[in-house]
Homo-oligomer: A and B are copies of this chain.
Amino acid sequence: MKRELVTEMIIEKKLAKGTSWAAIAEKVGKSKEWTTAALLGQMALTQEEAGIVTDFLGLSEEANLALQQVPYKGSLPTAVPTDPLIYRFYELINVYGTTFKELIHEEFGDGIMSAIDFNMDMQREENPNGDRVKIVMSGKFLPYKRY
């Protein structure tokens, strides 16, 4: 069973059951960010985690097995995303990309922020002028190896 199919089934089951990503994440015992990414086909689950999801949403045994495999990652259908919410993040990279680069190099030297040893947290930030989305990203700095 292809992972895309499992993702599609999870979305349908979640909708029919009327549950939320946050609720599923709590059952799995991981953050809502990691769990949602995993269930949308971007991360591999352990046997135990896959079992919890399979039971909770009523998936098949084949889906259970597929969830434990490392997926081919990448969740977007086009190189430049068309969805306005996702495009705004792409735009930030387009506008601030060279700024990220300059400031990280100024602080750390040559290297990158890891997208693997990485975690993030999304919260609502209350504000009288309209609430804000607050995203905190944290990735290990990896210096280029010199040899």
Contacts and interface: CB of A to CB of B under 8 A. Distances in A.
Nearest to A15: B65
Contact of A22 (B106, B132, B141): B106
The CB with the most chain B CB atoms within 10 A, among A94, A118, A135, is that of A94
Interface string A32-76: 111011001011100000000000000000100110011011111
A146 B81 CA distance: 23
Contacts of A21: 102-103, 106
A117 B131 CA distance: 11
Interface of A: 1-2, 8, 12, 15-16, 20-22, 30-34, 36-37, 40, 42-44, 62, 65-66, 69-70, 72-120, 122, 124-125, 127, 129-147
26 contacts: A33-B103, A36-B102, A37-B96, A40-B98, A40-B99, A42-B96, A43-B144, A70-B110, A74-B94, A75-B94, A76-B93, A81-B93, A84-B112, A85-B101, A88-B139, A89-B100, A89-B115, A92-B115, A92-B118, A93-B93, A108-B124, A113-B133, A117-B145, A132-B139, A133-B137, A137-B137
